Chain A
Amino acid sequence: MITKRKPLPYIFFILAWVLSVSSVFAQTAPLGDPRTMKFDPVTITVPEVERVVLENGLIVYLLPDRELPLVTVSAMIRTGSIYEPADKVGLAGLTGTVMRTGGTARLAGDQVDDELEFLAANISMGIGGESGSASLDILKKDFPRGLAIFADMLRAPAFEPAKVEQAKRQALEAIRRRPDSPGGITAREFRKLLFGADHPLGRESTADTVSRITRDDLTAFHRQFFAPNSLILGVTGDFEKPAMLDALRKAFGDWPPQPVALPALPPVTASSGPAATRSVNVLRRDISQTHLRIGHLSVKEDDPDYFALALLEDILGGNSFTSRLFRDVRSRQGLAYAVGSRIVPGNAGPGVFMMQALTKGPSTHQALASMLDHMERLRQEPVSPEELQLAKDAFLNSFVFSFADSGLIVGRLMGLEYHGLPKDFLQRFRDSVVRLTREDLLRVARQHLHPDRVIILAVGKDTDFEKPLSTFGRITVLTLKPGG
């Protein structure tokens, strides 16, 4: 028989949000037409997350969740590849990799792996564009040991020379293999067009920049950015708060703070200048399917229009199956398996709006024209009331999944603090969505979507295209640089 679980011992229920606007009438009648079913609104109680700042500036979020005998510590670190020198692109990524593999002041890299894998524990480390991240996931019984290794890795990585060399060789092989993936080529070339090939957000590593990186560069990069006052930790799982705080103080408390300078990001001028016009770029590859990407720079996450733009983007191509691009380009016209749109709001740098599709060479022009038409239509006429209602209902009724587990709840708070956003950001998002009107979406479409200024990139065999793409603007033919 089932042992009924006790509810989670969440002691501090501070908020109970009512999450549905449309379905207000509860009904337990027999099953009928699913189109007319009504349900109670979904209510959730969000547990209080404790935030503690240690004496050395290290920020800790704590949310115990006793369901399973596991503890997870995740970290965000104020660093990123945007801070690496232009002649050593790839340095940040390599630093993250070798922090994980290259041992610590107390243990060789191979010993770390041996011990962690025997305990079935996972530690990850990585440095991306605008942040570094790390995590420890371990059975509760092994937590003290895991935390000690994790802290050593963050504080005193050894960067064993052999592991540095190995990571460099792996990075070089990955560069060699870049031309094998049209999707990867498309993503990198599009970033170059958006941000500029020399901008920290657009540039890419090459065999040259990687070869130039030395072990000293890695240790210096680590020293420059890894300090307790640059770190945000989030702890979830099976623990008592006081004991956890003691353990964290023991592991990190004597780590002295240091000033960390984060240089400002240079402005993006490649595609955002006042004279920007639509650009059509073709990169020739001998493949039977064209990778299309269309987009331009967009708003930052703290822009008051971001919420409206996000909902508009759900309607355009964000929601699978029901979005305009999916229904038209995929289901009605049968032109693509993968088609959609995205808006990535900016933080350090600008945001990006983009649409993408993969279609056979002979339907490239048709797919591109359809996507641009859909973008233009959002500026010409308001979305239908039904579309707006569906997008709102989908957002609001699935809002509960933002609180599906403690890791999500804590991870979000960490991210908001990291990016300087208010901690009730998601609540504001929700409240804004409830109020949005068709006119609001029309206004943001007109203000923030610019079909006349998009960057179009087509990677494929242009001799197969049914019509030249010059009907969309003057074509620039791109060439793939070695290792590009």
Chain B
Amino acid sequence: MARRLFIVLIGLALLTGPAAAADRSANAPGLEERVVEHRLANGLTLLLMERHQAPIVAVNLTYKVGGVHEHNGITGVAHLYEHMAFKGSRTIGVTDAAREKPVLDELDRLAEAITAEKARGPAADRTRLAALRTQFAETEAAAAGFVVPAELATLYQRHGGVGLNATTGKDLTRYFLSFPSNRLPLWAAVESDRMANGVLREFYKEKNVVLEERRQRTDNSPNGRLHEAFSSAAFQAHPYGLPVIGWPSDLDGLSKARTEAFFQTYYGPANAVLAIVGDINQKDVIALVEQTFGRIPARPPSPPVLTTEPSSAGERRVEVEYAAEPQILIGFHKPGTGHPDDEIFDVIDSLLSEGRTSRLHKRLVQDKQLATGISAFSNYPGAQYPNLFVLGATPRAPHTAAEVEQAVYEELDRLKKEPVTPRELEKILNQIDAAQVRALRSNSGMASRLGYFQAISGDWRETFTRRDRIAKVSPEDIRRVAAHYFTKSNRVVATLVKPTSPTAPEAKP
């Protein structure tokens, strides 16, 4: 199962242009009018689109919670919770929840005692630690006796559910699957149950699974290492600088109580957007959702993210030593969602990196052949809060990261000096319009889009209206934004370099 952690990071390059207002574009008539929005009394937002091509339906449940709601000490908690959400509830995934509870409580008590003892460092009592660990292993085995393995997934699979998965990003945590459409009541029962009554069973085992995920994505991946160091260097105050997967020591020490509290704080119905696209009858689905999710009590609003990143006094550069071929990331601080300059960056993103005819691809990959690939991310590592515009490149030997970096700056300088041509802007709009039409090919793609924009900007119509704002971006806007943001002092650069060759071993005396 591929649980993509950095979906927002990867996904946004594609999502920069999901616009093309349907009623304004001849390509997708009436698209906007086909979406129905319904708000439950407890605050949950429901978005529906009927599409009757096949008797199937895609559901996408997006929570406005992610790595941005963490701080050092609890990094990784949003993602770990996402894993835990597959473990069931008070009724699903367990033989006898009442008898399970005291065992789980005892397990937590032992885990916290172990964490406390370990925190004493060199003064830790090793004998006590060993005894605690033995007790812990016995209690964990007892807890496992109550587990009905994978019962939640079994229910979905038995009824033909496909693509069951979830992702955790900086801003959002998203749960999704597709179903034969007549089985929607089953999904509503299970999903509303885990929203209200999730039980964190197999918690400590799952931490090990996440640590393996970290080894796979970050520790043994040159790319993963580079991105982690890059974000950390770019954000020293704002939580966008923390790794979504978590620091290993935080994961190790994370208590179940903290994880449970995190769930209680951020998984309320008002923090959720539920998008359903497919062979449905909207009235029936609204009734179904009212009957299930509607029974979940409202929770207090989750606390806002207060920290803002102070402006960096000067360029930040970071080198990551790893035995691999070079890579480079160049980022510029920029505003987040809702700022008028945001769409201009989307246009610049397309202009520089979308397709073989984009400027950086032409210059670096085709003409000078300094790099084998170039990519841009216009909302890195998240979209909601002030973030980075990032250019990443893979140098082609014998060319170096420094040569690539220089060529990128020359191309950025061109943006500051020469106005872009009308044809380039027209091409970008054509691509956005076509992407809008193609989005409807898949129920899950459409559900994901609607849920994304509702959760990030508070209005699913952004899927359509963003296109019109992009259409208004002028060559002068692009010149102004390039000159304002693409400066040395606003810049963060990370490069992957080979470890300097180890010094010759000293001769033994």
Contact = CB atoms under 8 A, between A and B. Distances in A.
Interface in A395-436: 396-401, 403-405
Contacts of A121: 434
A393 B206 CA distance: 28
Contacts of B149: 322, 327, 331-332
B159 A39 contact: yes
Interface stretch (A64-72, A74-82, A250-258, A449-457): A64-72
B186 A390 contact: no
Contact of A139 (B27, B55, B153): B27
A475 B32 CA distance: 62
A42 B55 contact: yes
A397 B180 contact: yes
A320 to B, nearest CB: 4
B189 A176 contact: no
A346 B82 CA distance: 37
A393 B35 CA distance: 33
A15 interface: no
A397 B431 contact: no
B164 interface: yes
A370 interface: no
B54 A68 contact: no
A322 B216 CA distance: 22
B182 A40 contact: yes
A169 B369 CA distance: 9
Given A176-B325, A330-B209, A405-B53, A42 B160 contact: yes
A331 B158 contact: no
A332 B324 contact: no
Nearest to A7: B52
A43 B55 contact: yes
Interface in A268-318: 286-289
Interface stretch (B100-108, B435-443, B463-471): B435-443
A393 B156 CA distance: 10
B357 A403 contact: no
A380 interface: no
A336 interface: yes
Nearest to A5: B52
A67 B53 contact: yes
A139 B202 contact: no
Nearest to A100: B356
Given A5-B50, A176-B397, A401-B162, A34 B153 contact: no
A404 B369 CA distance: 42
Contacts of A394: 157-158, 160
B212 A169 contact: no
Interface string A352-363: 000000111000
Contacts of B206: 331, 334
Contact of A39 (B182, B216, B357): B182
B199 to A, nearest CB: 15
B72 interface: no
B130 interface: no
A182 B224 CA distance: 13
Nearest to A403: B54
Given A31-B292, A334-B205, A320 B215 contact: no
Interface string A327-340: 10011111111101
Given A8-B53, A327-B150, A401-B56, A119 B355 contact: no
Interface stretch (B120-128, B231-239, B422-430, B450-458): B422-430
A339 to B, nearest CB: 9
Contacts of B91: 33
Contacts of A173: 372, 394, 396-397
B177 to A, nearest CB: 11
A216 interface: no
Contacts of B204: 334
Contacts of A139: 27, 434, 437
A340 B1 CA distance: 8
B180 A42 contact: yes
A117 B356 contact: yes
A367 B160 CA distance: 30
B150 A182 contact: no
B268 interface: no
Contacts of B55: 42-44, 400
A3 B30 CA distance: 7
B38 interface: no
Interface residues of A, number: 83
A320 B153 contact: yes
A69 B22 CA distance: 13
A335 B210 CA distance: 10
A403 B440 CA distance: 16
A14 interface: no
Most buried by B among A7, A67, A286, A331: A331
A398 B162 contact: yes
Contacts of A390: 154, 157-158
Contacts of B67: none
A336 B222 contact: no
Nearest to A397: B160
Contacts of A403: 54
Contacts of A327: 149-150
A113 interface: yes
B161 A398 contact: yes
Nearest to A328: B149
B216 A358 contact: yes
B216 A289 contact: yes
Given A69-B27, A174-B372, A327-B150, A404 B190 contact: no
Given A34-B189, A401-B162, A69 B54 contact: no
A170 to B, nearest CB: 5
A101 B159 CA distance: 45
B157 A321 contact: yes
Contact of B56 (A22, A40, A400): A400
A438 B253 CA distance: 45
A120 interface: yes
B36 A289 contact: no
Contact of A401 (B178, B183, B208, B323): B178
Contact of B431 (A67, A101, A120): A120
Contacts of A70: 437-438, 441
15 contacts: A2-B36, A33-B91, A42-B180, A110-B366, A118-B427, A169-B369, A177-B324, A286-B323, A320-B164, A331-B205, A332-B149, A335-B212, A336-B209, A393-B160, A399-B160
Sorted from nearest, which 3 A-B pairs have the closest CB atoms?
A397-B160, A321-B153, A334-B208
Interface of A: 1-5, 7-8, 22-23, 30-35, 37, 39-40, 42-44, 65, 67-70, 101, 110, 113-114, 117-121, 137, 139, 166, 169-170, 173-174, 176-177, 179-182, 286-289, 319-322, 326-327, 330-338, 340, 358-360, 390, 393-394, 396-401, 403-405
